[in-house]
Structure 1
Amino acid sequence: MASKRRQFGRVRKLPSGRYQARYVAPDGQLRPAPETFRTKKDADDWLADKQTEMRRGDWHDPDAGKVAFGPYAAAWIEERELTTTTRQLYGSLLRHHLEPVFGAVNVAEISPPLVRRWRADKLASGTGPTTVAKAYALLRAIMGTAVADQMIRRNPCTIKGASTVHTPERPTATVQEVYDLADAIQPRYRALVLLAGFLGLRWGELVGLHRRDIDLDGGALRVRRAVAELNNGQREIKAPKSAAGKRTVAIPGAILPDVRAHLERYAEPGADGRVFIGAKGATPRRNHFNRLWRTACSDAGIEGLHFHDLRHTGNTLAASTGASTRELMARMGHSTARAALIYQHASADRDRLIADAVSGLVDKGRKKVRKAKKKRDRKPKGHEGDTRD
């Protein structure tokens, strides 16, 4: 009886006694299995699996991933629409943290164990957890594109939570501390401190303000641009971090006189005049302002407070008013609810403390009433006369 002819692929026995499996791929090329097999059945089973992949449309070119990670990652960054600051960050993470280990490795050869070992070595060597998390997130994004490009089947970055940046909780200034700092800083930056503290604006948004952005009569401020400082010392005027960053924010009436006084004395003239400029007429630089900030903190007796922490103050105050998540998102300039929910939770925690304090007062008041009642009950009652017949 004639043997049944193979319908897919070919199997041949090698001089070594092992079996080689080959098949014609969708690209028309004759593709051998990456390894030989001990038995003919093992080779047949491998061909059957490969045929199933092709029928499902799940076939991948085994040579597609034979591209060095370094050039692929550099092209990945180059091809994306990124802000200049983000492009610089990604380039730095690639050069200093990813390329030394993965640069010469083929994309298809980057495995979960290799990724886990790289991350563990980074943390053990003293690289900051935040930097490692950002580098891991970049690696995962690049390898995700490799999956979409059908270079690899699965993303090797499988460590749960490894891309989450765990930033320590920053302090929040009190209303009085904001005013103490505004009093201690150079007068030309008094309004800048108050706007940061009570509107929650970012540094780049503040120094990007022009006169036409402030409506004193309407008590509102429009955020339309931000100034970004690049690694090479240059500055870039760009749109805010997200579309939601372009927003109009109401100015608390309590600080309107300070804003008005600043515009009259320190801002550039004309509708396009910059609101905040240094003594020599230049847009303030962050590193120079930080020196003034540290001096003001010292003079005000406030320790460990960064300028950006004033944004937390403004957002916390807004959340404490009972503003909705959507309202907080609009005021803060966020396109997602995550940050707004954080401030709402912080406000809720404070409200819980208040409720607990009220509960203590209630318990104290009720205890006092119960004590007085017991005292009345212990008093002897008057004896009534006998009523014997």
Structure 2
Amino acid sequence: MGHIVKTPSGTWRANWRDPSGRQRAKTFRTKKDASGFLATVEAEKSRGTYLDPSAGRVLFRDHARRWEESRRVELTTADAAKSRMRCHIVPQWGDWPLNKISFLDVQAWVTRLTGSLAAQTVISCFGIMSSIMKAAVRGRLIAINPCEGVRLPARRKGSVADELITREELAGKLLPEVPERYRALVLAAAYAGLRWGECVGLHWRNVDLLSGRIVVVETAVEVSGGISMKSYPKTEAGRRVVPVPSLLGAALRRQAGVVPAGHDDLVFPDSVGHHLRRSNFRRNVWVPARDAAGLPSSLTFHRLRHCYTTWLVSEGVPVNLVQAALGHEHASTTLDRYTHRPADYEDRLRAALDDPADDPLTGTD
């Protein structure tokens, strides 16, 4: 049990031992306050919910640094988190003691960010902040996570026209504006569903033009200004065989004849044979071609992978086969995130049940 003593200055000091047996003390203005605090401490010790009163005084930046060091995540995930921390999280919370951060403080921060950043960026920043504070709760530095219950901005959903292009638009509008050395790259995303890193990390040894197959076994990862190769992209399901349609096959044959293989036999190297950088491709190739074709600015290179998925599903390819081609572990990812309503969906639905034989007045025997 703890005890209370009066100090020479007239204040009251509560003395107790924490669960580890270490002597602790805290000073109060009145004996009543000291007694109430000591009673709370003893009750928390009995329930197993005791927290060291001084633990929450750890600065957010110090705890966040330990949190970063303890995580095991993909290099790209860690790099993105560092960027969010540096730009939006540490400048706000770095000098705050953990136990001084309240729900209202976090809600006000989220509201402020929402006024200047995209909803997805705000949600990403908040997710990192919440994970850091959750780790503080589990580490018994604070009692509750102040991020619980915070309201987040809604993700903006674009219109159907913003989400997709048709195969006719790809062939008739976009490809003619893409420089020849990059057309096969665009088709690898649109007609094989390859991710950016899988495209720029693709080697000719993993392309079989005779059998019409691409074997995806690795991906190029761009982190902190450097590019490295990583095996087994994302998940075990990412290691896969993707069939090559004839249009892509023809483009790859032209690629082999026009563009010299890059370092380590890269299929889509930059002009000096190294890995192609996303930012350079976007600035110098993708945006000029997309704009010249008159296509919406929401059409990113990655959106071609969504187009590939929707085209296959619209043609009646079973979802489990599409899932395998995309390298998704779960079919729900394929359906929820990668399939989109085609522009002619009303005509498709109408035609599916538009059979005169169904009408007893006009049908024939």
The TM tier, using the shorter chain, reads: 0.7 to 0.9
Task: Name the counterpart of 1:75.
Answer: 66
Matching residue of 1:132: 122
**Match for 1:346: what amino acid?**
H
1:319 aligned partner, one-letter code: V
Structure 2 residue aligned with 1:142: 132
Q: Residue 379 of structure 1 aligns with which residue? A: none
Q: Which amino acid aligns with 1:237?
A: M
Equivalent residue in structure 2 for 1:50, among 25, 41, 46:
41
- One-letter identity of the residue aligned with 1:238: K
Native 8 Å contact 1:185 1:292 kept in 2: yes
| 2:83 equivalent to 1:89 | no
SS in 2 for 1:235: strand
Aligned to 2:199: 206
Distance in 1, matches of 2:154 and 2:328, equals 19
- Choose the corresponding residue for 2:266, options 252, 274, 277: 274
Whole-Å separation in 2 of the counterparts to 1:269 and 1:154:
54
Which residues in structure 2 correspond to 1:207-356 (within 5 Å)? 207-232=200-225, 234-239=226-231, 240-268=233-261, 272-290=264-282, 291-304=284-297, 305-342=299-336, 346=340, 354-356=348-350
Alpha-carbon deviations, 1:16-36, whole Å to 9, x = none?
999765432223234446756
Superposition deviation, residue 264 in structure 1? 3.8
2:42 is matched by which residue type in structure 1? Q
Question: What CA distance in whole angstroms lies between the structure 1 residues aligned with 2:19 and 2:98?
Answer: 22
* 1:337/1:104 CA distance change after superposition, 3 Å: farther
The amino acid across from 2:281 in the alignment is F
What's the CA shift for 1:316? Answer: 1.2
Provide the TM-score with structure 2 as the length reference: 0.81
Q: CA contact under 8 A between 1:199 and 1:315: conserved in structure 2?
A: no
Query: In the alignment, residue 250 of structure 2 is paired with which amino acid?
Result: P
Tell me the TM-score normalised to structure 1 length: 0.77
The structure whose RCO (Cα within 8 Å, separation 6+) is larger is: 2
Q: Which residue, 175, 184, 187 being the options, matches 1:191?
A: 184
Indicate the percent of aligned positions where both proteins have the same amino acid: 30
Q: Does 1:116 align with 2:107?
A: yes
Pair 1:114–1:317, CA change in 2 (3 A)? same
Q: 1:311/1:31 Cα in 2 relative to 1: closer, same or farther (>3 Å)? A: same
Aligned-partner Cα distance in 1 for 2:17–2:175: 75
Query: Structure 1 residues 216, 150: closer, same or farther in 2, change over 3 A?
Result: same
User: How much does 1:326 deviate?
Assistant: 4.3
What is the match of residue 168 of structure 2?
Answer: 176
Cα RMSD of the aligned pairs, angstroms, is 3.7
CA contact (8 A) 1:319 1:347 kept: no
Question: In the TM superposition, what is the alpha-carbon distance from 1:49 to its structure 2 partner?
Answer: 4.2
In the alignment, the residues of structure 2 paired with residue 133 and residue 58 of structure 1 have an alpha-carbon distance, to the nearest angstrom, of 31
SS at match of 2:329: coil
Measure the CA separation in 1 of the matches of 2:150 and 2:318. Answer: 32
| Structure-1 residue corresponding to 2:98 | 107
Give the number of the structure whose alpha-carbon radius of gyration is greater. 1
Aligned partners of 1:236 and 1:269: how far apart in 2?
15
Farther off after superposition, 105-114 or 74-83: 74-83
After superposition, give the CA deviation of every residue in 1:169-218 in whole Å (9 maximum; x if it has no partner).
65212111222223332222222122211111122211111011112233
Do 1:227 and 1:236's aligned partners in 2 also have CA atoms closer than 8 Å?
A: yes
Q: Secondary structure at the match of 2:55?
A: coil
* Matched residue, 1:377: none
Deviations 1:86-112 (A, max 9, x none): 333222222221222211111222221
For residue 367 of structure 1, report the CA deviation from its aligned partner. Answer: 10
Q: Secondary structure at the match of 1:221?
A: strand
Larger deviation: 243-252 or 135-144?
243-252
Per-residue CA shift, 1:123-144, capped at 9, x if unaligned?
A: 23x2333222211111111111
Structure 2: runs of 5 or more not aligned: none
8 Å Cα contact 1:173/1:309 also seen in 2 = no
The residue type equivalent to 2:52 in the other structure is D
Alignment of 1:338-377 (within 5 A): 338-342=332-336, 346=340, 354-356=348-350, 361=354, 366=359, 369=362
Q: Which runs of 5+ in 1 are unaligned?
A: 1-7, 371-389
